[in-house]
Structure 1
Amino acid sequence: MTSVPFRSTAGLYFGNRDARSLFEFGLCLVTTISLSIAAATSFAAGPGQPVVARVEMKFATGEEVVDVISKGDLLTVVEDRGDDYVIVTHDGTRGAVDKVNAVELAESTGIYTELIKEFPNEGRYYTLRASAWWALGKQDEALEDFNTAIDKGYKAAHAYSSRGLFMAARGEHAAAIEDYDTALKIDPDDITPMINRAAVHMGQGEYEKAIADYTTALEVRKNNAALLRQRAIAYKAAGQYDKAIKDFDMIVDANAEDVAAIMGRGYIRFQQQEFAAAAADFSAALELNDEDPVAWNNRGYNRYQLGKAEAALEDYDRAIELAPNYALAHQNRAWLLATAEDESQRNPTAAIESAEKACEINAYGNIGDLSALAAAYAAAGQFKDAVGWQEKVVEIAPADVKTFAEKMLTRYRNEKPYISDPVAAEKAEREAAEAVAQAEAEKKNEAAIKEAAAKLEREAKNNAKGEIEVE
């Protein structure tokens, strides 16, 4: 099965107006104040991406100036219209700017260096250049600029929050949390640092702390789908499955077409062994998007748990058709074809092919793929090959599954096929052997008793004959 992936809340925050008011306001005309612009390399930023103003610009409607964009300001791209971008400023003004007047964040270090030379004590420019260094992957330069901004007295909450993101990305979790805490003290109304702090808690396995942060954030952003989803993931990680499902229920109740929430809920139901409910969720997801191989694979697995091997095989086949290199679907298909309870549904040859494909995709490094390959060879009666692959499984098996892997190796060496519970199988086989031995012993004992009785009878007859003859 494939769980829903966890993503931390990170990145730059850009203020925005209500979407309706933006559209009613319409596009502003842009007047470029400075025209001394070097030729810019053509690039295309997608919707939601930040770009940096190369020059000062004015937004105006008629004769009225409604907003001014300063050199170095961050702008959010709404739409790429070819020669220009429709953007939203930090204050929420919507307008169009020529592409020549904006650059990607990773290309903006020069702009901020010019501004720092002009305004050496303006800490904000150091934080912006730090973000540009970060986008370039230059961590040391980024950290130096973050620190310089704060050392110069730039105590804005986002200075600490931004440095916290950077620290978290570097794996310096304690420093990240300290920065987030400081940002929250400076601006308690901005819950973004709290959300990012929750992500750090998740990464450290501090699930209860993450849940507490997400819960507090939800008091501000009530019923926010993204926060509910992240809290559900935290609940799942903490083993609180019922609460996780309630959060997913709230998302789906508000938006019945939220496929990610339906998939997430289905996976938790699978973990609770509610296979019918899980299969129903994955079916609902497929009704919304029947091109998702993960949904096909996941429904197939739950159908197999329900004893619907034929339907499960069809789902695995569809998943593989959509994603030929989907290793988990190949592995699941191999297990089904090698170990199905109904012998008519087994196909050891096809199972070997599927398991080999999964192994090839994962470069023979996935223990589940190798286990499936060994089981497939055992199902085909090729126990020498089964033993060889199972030996590799034992070699790489973590401590919690090594005992099981070793028991399966013993079975293959004894030329016995895979079984999901070798301990129970050993017990059953031992009890069966003991029963046979007991029956054999009783049979022999009964025969011995009969033979002894017959002997006594013969001796009695012989003795009687002797007595008659003597008389």
Structure 2
Amino acid sequence: MNALPRNRKLSARGIAMLAAMISGVALAGCTTTPTGELTTIEVAQGSDENISSLTAVIERNPSDPEAYNVRGSAYGRGGKYQEALRDFDKALQLRPNFYQAYANRALIHRFLGDQASALADYNRSIQLNPSYDAAYIGRGNLYRKAGRVQEAFSDFQRAIQLDTTDPRAYHNRGLIYQSQGQHAFAIEDFSTAISLAPDAAEPYNGRGLSYIATNDEENAFADFNMAIKLDGKIAESWANQALIYERRGDKQRAAKSYARAAQLDPNYKPAVEGLARTRAG
């Protein structure tokens, strides 16, 4: 990655708090289930009812690789990973150059913890179609989780160069910029992600943290409040809101927001530590 100018930094106290917050948002960029990442099916189609309908389609067309790919995606969304793998295997048996099925199977391998197989499938998908943005984004997420930041950045960059409309490419590139203190670039990427997915809370959290890093507290607070409005069950959003209250000296409201974050995720360290700090004060 080319060296880029850094923005203003936080105070020593703020740096430690921001680092913990950024860690939480980075995790939010990779969900613990395939929702939002499988490439060929809508969320609602992961229901048992729709899987039954897709099974009926396969029974009528047992040699159709598209049908297996779609049902595999539905199984993945429903958390039925082994069933998903079997369907993607079948789709690829029927159509060996099915690059979408390779990318979908890679995601299932990733969630099952088989990172080597996931990487091999993403590589094969890209080999078959070097212009397939979803494979670059998936592989970039794999690299980012493995700490291979430069390779992750390159993959997100490539997806963006391909004119992707997938907000994850911008969101995750923004996280990388943010982790390196390049907050102007991060804010721009998070803003693009928001324009592509205005109902997603995570880019608001990410952008808000970079606003804090540039001492733009008002915009940070607005972003954290919007994240809560969009999804009130994300601990990071409440902890981020609490951070603003704490910076403003309003420990009572800060403690209340930290408490909500800790209730949602008792293991979320910034919330637990923030609650202890503000209650003690």
**CA distance in structure 2 between the partners assigned to 1:280 and 1:231 by the alignment:** 22
Indicate the SS of the match to 1:273. coil
Aligned match of 2:186: 312
8 Å CA contact 1:383–1:413 kept in 2: the answer is yes
Aligned match of 1:260: 134
Aligned match of 1:360: 229
Deviation at 1:365, TM superposition (A): 4.1
**CA distance in structure 2 between the partners assigned to 1:359 and 1:297 by the alignment:** 18
- 1:112-151 aligned within 5 A: none
CA deviations 1:298-330 (Å, max 9, x no partner) are: 211122223433432332244446666653222
In the alignment, residue 49 of structure 2 is paired with which amino acid?
Answer: A
Aligned match of 1:279: 153
Aligned match of 1:408: 274
In the alignment, residue 358 of structure 1 is paired with which amino acid?
Answer: A
**CA distance in structure 2 between the partners assigned to 1:377 and 1:266 by the alignment:** 35
Deviation at 1:297, TM superposition (A): 2.1
Indicate the SS of the match to 2:228. helix
Aligned match of 1:248: 122
CA deviations 1:220-271 (Å, max 9, x no partner) are: 2112112112211211221222322222222222322211222222222222
**CA distance in structure 2 between the partners assigned to 1:206 and 1:317 by the alignment:** 34
**CA distance in structure 2 between the partners assigned to 1:318 and 1:9 by the alignment:** 23
- 1:214-233 aligned within 5 A: 214-233=88-107
**CA distance in structure 2 between the partners assigned to 1:359 and 1:351 by the alignment:** 13
Which structure's residues are more often strand, by fraction?
A: 1
Taking a change above 3 Å as real, the CA distance of residues 336 and 377 of structure 1, as seen in their structure-2 partners, is farther
Comparing both chains, which one has the higher relative contact order based on Cα–Cα distances under 8 Å and sequence gaps of 6 or more? 2
Matched, 1:385 2:253: yes
**CA distance in structure 1 between the partners assigned to 2:218 and 2:168 by the alignment:** 25
* Residue among 238, 241, 261 paired with 1:373: 241
Q: Which has the larger radius of gyration?
A: 1
8 Å CA contact 2:65–2:95 kept in 1: the answer is no
Matched, 1:300 2:180: no
CA deviations 1:335-371 (Å, max 9, x no partner) are: 2333x4xxxx333333222212322333x44332222
**CA distance in structure 2 between the partners assigned to 1:196 and 1:358 by the alignment:** 31
Aligned match of 1:168: 48
The count of aligned residue pairs is 247
8 Å CA contact 1:348–1:379 kept in 2: the answer is no
In the alignment, residue 405 of structure 1 is paired with which amino acid?
Answer: A
Aligned match of 1:29: none
**CA distance in structure 2 between the partners assigned to 1:235 and 1:349 by the alignment:** 42
Taking only the aligned residue pairs, the percentage that are identical comes to 22
Aligned match of 1:235: 109
8 Å CA contact 1:180–1:197 kept in 2: the answer is no
Indicate the SS of the match to 1:239. coil
**CA distance in structure 2 between the partners assigned to 1:254 and 1:326 by the alignment:** 31
Which structure's residues are more often helix, by fraction?
A: 2
| Structure 1: gaps of 5 or more residues | 11-164, 416-471
| Structure 2: gaps of 5 or more residues | 1-28
Taking a change above 3 Å as real, the CA distance of residues 209 and 357 of structure 1, as seen in their structure-2 partners, is closer
**CA distance in structure 2 between the partners assigned to 1:264 and 1:166 by the alignment:** 20
Query: Please, what is the CA RMSD of the aligned residues?
Result: 3.7
TM-score (norm 1): 0.45
**CA distance in structure 1 between the partners assigned to 2:262 and 2:46 by the alignment:** 40
Taking a change above 3 Å as real, the CA distance of residues 172 and 250 of structure 1, as seen in their structure-2 partners, is closer
8 Å CA contact 1:355–1:376 kept in 2: the answer is no
In the alignment, residue 252 of structure 1 is paired with which amino acid?
Answer: I
